Amino acid sequence: MAELQLHQHGKSRVRLGRTWREGSVHHFVEWMVHTMLESDMELAFTDGDNTGMTATDTQKNTVYVVAKKMSKRCSIEQYATALAQHFVHTYPRVSKAKVWVEQAPWKRVEVGGIPHDHGYAMCGTEVRTTHVTYDRAGKLDVQCGVKDLKVLKTTQSGYEGFLRDAFTLLPEVRDRVMATSVTATWKYAYQPMDYDATFATVRGALLDGVFGPPKGGVYSPSVQFTLYAMAQLALERAPQVESVFLNMPNLHFLPCAPVGSGFDDDVYVATSEPHGNIEAVVTRKDAKPHCRL
């Protein structure tokens, strides 16, 4: 006999744009929203009975309704919280709402050094993310993050001392290009007053962990060491953060010696596949672990 275990239903990849007009200055965001509802809908799966079900089409429509209701400029965390709470408070069969939001990297343009009133350009790939859950007991969980944050440094990176056997071809190096696309998520011990400010603090810490000071930088003996240094800095600078998950592919730039010349740390074969893949969860001592592995 079969038994229904966890079940949920939601809408994926709902895209929206939202403008807030503050006089002549307009603020714009583009969001990709995913919803998922845990609800008392076993009979839909086992008996084909849809009574009381919040259709995924309704969930999609609600994404837009709640965006409209956010009358003041807000962060993705505030929006996702409002959306999750709406589902639980409106639909008695819903026991837990899960909402993911990703913010596209539109940035206000500057013309002659002056911020434009309503002009935006998309520069880069970096997407700000959040994952919010809210349940009928009123438990709210907000996780923040960033993905596709691509970083590269042309030196101050090496890789030495690793195991060598018959399968090892990689030479040891003290100078190489280090490039990665950072995915980070972090959990708070307590919710910050200002999600935007805390996001900026954590993002800044992650970048400083990679690059070090502007003159001279900081040496990376491995992606692993740099990942841990980044997470340590984030925990140090943002006291609200209790744990950080980081995933960092090692995007290899392979030494290239064009025909007739040698390799002088100047020309590389740029690759994306295959790539190394390094990840870890780093928690504040005595904090609850945060599982993304």
> Which tokens in the block code for residue 239?
């006291």
The amino acid that residue 269 corresponds to is V
By CB under 6 A, residue 170 contacts ligand URC: yes
57 annotated among ligand-binding-site residues: yes
224 annotated among ligand-binding-site residues: yes
CB atoms within 10 A of CB 256: 12
Q: Which of 11, 86, 131, 153 is catalytic?
A: 11
CB atoms within 10 A of CB 143: 20
223 annotated among ligand-binding-site residues: yes
11 is catalytic: yes
61 annotated among ligand-binding-site residues: no
DSSP state at residue 105: -
Q: Which one of the spans 42-50, 60-68, 88-96, 219-227 is the region binding ligand URC (CB under 6 A)?
A: 219-227
Report which of 86, 89, 116 is spatially closest to residue 99, judged by C-alpha positions: 86
Q: Which residues contact 166 (CB under 8 A, 6 or more apart)?
A: none
Q: Can you tell me the distance from the alpha carbon of 170 to that of 262, in angstroms, rounded to the nearest whole number? A: 18
Q: Which of 86, 131, 187, 252 is catalytic?
A: 252
Phi/psi of residue 66, each to 5°? -70, -35
Site string for ligand URC, 175-204 (x = CB under 6 A): ------------------------------
Among 222, 230, 233, 290, binds ligand URC (CB under 6 A): 222
By CB under 6 A, residue 229 contacts ligand URC: no
By CB under 6 A, residue 155 contacts ligand URC: no
Q: Which one of the spans 28-36, 114-122, 207-215, 221-229 is the region binding ligand URC (CB under 6 A)?
A: 221-229
Q: Which of 26, 56, 58, 154 is catalytic?
A: 56
By CB under 6 A, residue 159 contacts ligand URC: yes
56 annotated among ligand-binding-site residues: yes
CB-nearer residue toward ligand URC: 58 or 250 = 250
18 annotated among ligand-binding-site residues: no
> Which tokens in the block code for residue 126?
């970096």
Q: Which one of the spans 95-103, 185-193, 216-224, 284-292 is the region binding ligand URC (CB under 6 A)?
A: 216-224
Compute the residue count for the chain.
293
CB-nearer residue toward ligand URC: 10 or 249 = 249
Provide the CA 260 distance to its chain's centre, in angstroms: 44
The DSSP bridge partners found for residue 147 are: 127
Q: Which residues contact 227 (CB under 8 A, 6 or more apart)?
A: 246, 248, 278, 279, 280
The amino acid that residue 283 corresponds to is T
Q: Applying CB under 6 A, which residues contact ligand URC?
A: 159, 170, 222-224, 250, 276
Annotated binding site: 56-57, 176, 223-224, 250
Residues designated catalytic: 11, 56, 252
